[in-house]
Amino acid sequence: MSTTQSDRLRGLLEPLVAAKGLDLEEIELSRAGKRRMLRIIVDSDEGVELDACAELSREVSDKLDESDVMGEDEYVLEVSSPGADRPLTEHRHYVRAIGRLVKFQLSAEDEKGAGELVARILDVDDEGMDLEVPGVKGRKATARRIAFTDIAKARVEIEFNRKDKKEEEA
């Protein structure tokens, strides 16, 4: 997608998304046969309900029909939330992942070992985050701090046996 079209789409759609209390995470325009596919990814601190995506999709469709930003060609519009395996790239992504297990690819090896780390995010501030590194083979978990500048990639790990916070409080 050209930068100018991307900028125009973002400028057109960001106010609509923000009015719903959501963050516009990504705009992706690609070819799907003869048609184009416009995928809009939105999120919030509380997650995104299916009904909110459907309502936003109708509003986005109306707004795009009123403007010339998509041109005359046909397109398919998809409004969705990010998948569970999406990369963590923004500060708000790390805040939303507090309490979750995350796989970090570190920028460089450090004194604590290899360039890969799996740990639970305990707290996030402007410089980095406090982590709990799970113990291995019966050992206790350890605390660790990493700076955002030390992270090359990060992605939430799917935990099928993780107890929900609500279950733990009950």
pLDDT at 164: 55
The tokens of 76 are what?
């398919």
- Answer yes or no: pTM beyond 0.75: no
pLDDT at 121: 95
Question: Along the chain (170 residues), what's the average pLDDT of each consecutive run of 10 residues?
Answer: 76 93 91 85 88 93 89 87 85 92 82 76 95 87 92 90 52
Q: Is 58 strand, coil or helix? A: helix
Burial (0-12, 13-18, 19+ Cβ within 10 Å), 61:
middle
Domains of the chain: 3-80 (3.30.300.70), 91-169 (2.30.30.100)
Q: Is 74 strand, coil or helix? A: coil
pLDDT at 79: 94
Say if residues 75 and 35 touch (Cβ distance below 8 Å).
Answer: yes
